[in-house]
């Protein structure tokens, strides 16, 4: 009987000491890091984004009935406007260290009122 109690105490002690490491912080889904870019092995930064975070590229439809403006993000290279999304097809993935997506409100706060449809900011490796 004493042996059974000893085993029970030992098992309870081990169970009390057993713990799972706390999970690390969740990666920011609005950022594509340099290791992710390299691991994708895609030729252009557009292809990297299409593979890893296709939601960055979505056309959310017309925002202006009369003028026909579309709800698509504008591309920035570092801190300067670079152009429409299609221009990223010409930019080699190896030239980019990081990609950040800013939704409408965040883009307006960081880049100004003209960018309420969102911004895809590319941070160059030579920045």
Q: Residue 72: count other Cβ atoms within 10 Å of its Cβ.
A: 18
Rounded to whole angstroms, what are the CA distances from 11 to 17, 20, 122? 10, 17, 54
Which tokens belong to 13?
């002690």
**pLDDT value at residue 8:** 60
**pLDDT value at residue 27:** 75
Place of tokens 């999304």: 85
pTM of the prediction?
0.73
**pLDDT value at residue 104:** 86
Closest by CA position to 106, among listed 74, 83, 80, 82: 74
For residues 74 and 119, the answer to whether their CB atoms sit within 8 Å is: yes
pLDDT, averaged in runs of 10, over the chain (127 residues): 61 61 72 97 97 87 47 91 94 97 92 91 90
* Domains, the chain, with CATH or none: 28-124 (2.170.130.10)
């Amino acid at each position: 009987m004493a042996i059974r109690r000893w085993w029970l105490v030992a098992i309870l002690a081990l169970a009390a000491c057993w713990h799972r490491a706390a999970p690390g912080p969740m990666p920011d889904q609005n950022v594509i890091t340099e290791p992710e870019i390299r691991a994708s092995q895609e030729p252009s930064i557009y292809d990297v984004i299409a593979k890893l975070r296709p939601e960055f590229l979505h056309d959310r439809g017309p925002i202006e009935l009369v003028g026909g403006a579309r709800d698509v993000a504008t591309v920035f290279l570092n801190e300067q406007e670079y152009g429409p999304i299609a221009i990223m097809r010409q930019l080699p993935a190896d030239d980019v260290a990081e990609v950040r997506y800013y939704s409408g409100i965040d883009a307006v706060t960081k880049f100004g009122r003209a960018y309420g449809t969102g911004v895809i900011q590319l941070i160059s490796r030579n920045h």
